[in-house]
Amino acid sequence: MADILHSEIIEPNIVLILDEFYEALLRHPSTAKLLANFSIADLKRTQRAYLLSLGQGFLLPHYFEGRLKIGLAHVRVGLKPALYQSAYRVLQQSLIDHIPPHHEHCRALIAFILKITMLDMSLAIESYEQGITTSLKDSLATLEDEKLHLADQIATDALTGVLSRKRILEILKTKLEPHQPCQPISVLMADLDHFKRINDTYGHLFGDAVLKDAALRMRTAIRSVNALGRYGGEEFLIVLSDTTLKQAQEIAERVREKVAKEPLNINHTEVHITISIGIASGTLGESPEHLIERADSALYAAKRQGRNCVACYDPQEAGI
C-alpha cells in the first residue's frame, strides 16, 4: 500500500500537497507565529523529504528512529504537542483529498494514511513527552555509556577496585557450569588478620586504606586470567581457572607472601598486614555456595593454625 500511496497520490501531487499544508498552517495564528521564524522554502524542502519517506519501511527500526528525530526537531523549535497534532490532521486531510473517489484502493489508502500518520504523530509526541532535546543518536550513545558505567559500578567494588561480590560469584558460577570444558577449578578465600584491631586502633578510614592496599597486593600476585573479588568486609575470594589444588597452594603462598612482604605506611603510620587463606578445589556442576563453604572451612583452619598461613580443605577436619 505504501508503493501505491507514493506512486499515485504523493509523487504526482507533492507540490500541491505542500502548498495546501503550509497555507493551512499559516491560517492558524499560533503556527503562523512560529513559522515566521523560518524560511517556508526550507520547511517545504524538509517536509518534501518527509512525505517521500512516509510509510516506506515503517516496520523497520530505522523508520522509528527517523520519526523520533523529527519529533525531537519539533521539540527544539518549540512546537507544542497540540500544534503538532493539528499539523498532522491537516496533512492527513490533504493526502486523503488527493485520492480519487473511485480509486480501486480508496478505502485501503485512507486506512493506511490514517495508520501511518497516527504512528508518526505518536512517535513524535512520545519523544516530546520524554523531554528529549538531543538527537536520537546522541541519546542512544549516552544511554549506552550510562549502561556501561552502571555495569562497571555493579561489577566493581567501589572501595578496593577489585570485582564486586556479585560479579565474582557470577564468574564462579559460570566456571562451575556442567557444560564448561573439563578443567580444575580452585578458589582461595582470603581474610585479613586482626583487621578489627586495625579499625579500632587507627579508625575506619585507615582501615579502608589497608583494604585497598591489600587488594592491590593480591591482584599483582595472581595471573590476569584469574579473578579477584571482595567477598565482604575484609574477606576476598579468588577464582583460579585451570588450577589444581597443588597449584592453588603455590598461588596462595605467593599471595600471602606478597601481602605480608612489606609494612604498609599510611600518613607516617606503619602497620604490618597479613592474611590467612583457605583453599578448595571444585568440580563441574558443584554449586558455588558449596565450594565457598569448603574454602571458608579451610580458612578457619588457617586461622586456628595461627594466622598468616594457608590451609587446604580437609573433609575429616570439617567433620565429613
Domains contained in the chain, CATH given: 2-139 (1.10.490.10), 156-312 (3.30.70.270)
Q: What is the average pLDDT across 202-229?
A: 94
Share of the chain above pLDDT 70, in %: 84
Question: Would you state the pLDDT for residue 320?
Answer: 44
CB atoms within 10 A of CB 24: 17
**Residues involved in catalysis:** 234
pTM for the whole thing?
0.55
Q: What is the average pLDDT across 235-261?
A: 95
Binned at pLDDT 50, 70 and 90, residue 316 comes out as: low
Question: Would you state the pLDDT for residue 71?
Answer: 65
Of 231, 203, 251, 234, nearest to 291 (Cα)?
231
Quote the CA–CA distance of 228 and 245 in Å, as a whole number. 17
Of 81, 26, 22, 78, nearest to 47 (Cα)?
22
Question: For 298-314, how does the pLDDT look when each residue is reduced to its tens digit (9 = 90+)?
Answer: 999 999 999 999 999 97
Question: For 263-276, how does the pLDDT look when each residue is reduced to its tens digit (9 = 90+)?
Answer: 988 888 999 999 99
pLDDT at 252 over 50: yes
Question: For 57-82, how does the pLDDT look when each residue is reduced to its tens digit (9 = 90+)?
Answer: 777 777 777 776 666 666 666 666 67
Answer whether 157's CB lies under 8 Å from 201's CB.
no
Beta sheet of 235-240, edge-to-edge order: 227-232, 235-240, 185-192, 275-282, 310-312
Quote the CA–CA distance of 257 and 148 in Å, as a whole number. 36
Give CA separation, 31 vs 21, 23, 270, in Å: 12, 11, 74
Q: What is the average pLDDT across 184-189?
A: 94
In this predicted model, which residue has the larger pLDDT, 226 or 134? 226
Quote the CA–CA distance of 184 and 172 in Å, as a whole number. 12
Binned at pLDDT 50, 70 and 90, residue 294 comes out as: very high
Query: What is the amino acid identity at position 110?
Result: I
Question: Would you state the pLDDT for residue 183?
Answer: 80
Helices 136-155 and 61-77 pack at an angle, to 10 degrees, of 110
pLDDT at 29 over 90: no
